[in-house]
Amino acid sequence: MQLDKALYLEFENAKRNEQWWKKEANRLGAEIRALAGDDTVVMVGDRRVITYDWINSFSERPFKEAYPQVHEQYLRSVVTEQLDLLRLKNDLPEIYRQFQQRRLELVK
């Protein structure tokens, strides 16, 4: 497929700057989190602009390091079913391909 050079150059520029902007967003987010402290709502004037509320996610590794005995006490065995993607890919490649995700990447 032939692509318009201007579109390619615009995409290439955006991809090159993506990592910088991601790092910058992380840096600014850390600064906002530090300023927010225990507050769950961040305001600019009288407008709510950011929420910093607790979510249903838990940092297990630091918890285990801080409280190994408690971690051990609350462990439980869990049996899960998982799709065997390698077998599906080998046995039914056409079906696997229909659901395989794709992404655009710049050639370096």
Does 23 score more than 70 pLDDT?
yes
Residue ranges per structural domain of the chain: 5-99
CB count within 10 Å of CB 11 equals 13
Rounded CA-CA distance 91/31 in Å is: 50
pLDDT-derived band at 106 (thresholds 50, 70, 90) equals low
Global pTM value: 0.60
Contact 51, 42 (CB under 8 A): yes
pLDDT single digits (tens) 43-97 = 999 999 999 988 888 999 999 999 999 999 999 999 999 999 999 999 999 999 9
Does 31 score more than 80 pLDDT?
yes
